[in-house]
Structure 1
Amino acid sequence: MTFKANWEKADKQYFLSAEIIEEMVRRAYTPKKLSSWSVIAGGCANLNIKINFEGNKLPSILRVYLRDKKSAYHEQKLGTLLKGTIALPETNYIGDYKGYRFAITSFIPGIPLRDLLLSHETYDMDSILFKVGGLLAKIATCPISKDLVRIPANSNGNSGFIRMAVPV
Structure 2
Amino acid sequence: MKRLPFEELATTKKGNLGERICIEHFHSKGLVVMTSITDSAHAFDIMVWQGKEKPCIVDIKTKASRTHYPDTGFDTADLDHYLKISEKHNMPVAIFFVDEHRKEVYWGELGDLLQEREVTEGNRTLKYPRSEWNITYFPLEAMNKLCDLDDVQVKELKNHTNRNYSYPTLKSA
**Superposition TM-score, scaled by structure 1 size:** 0.31
**Higher share in strand:** 2
**Superposition TM-score, scaled by structure 2 size:** 0.31
* Max Rg structure: 1
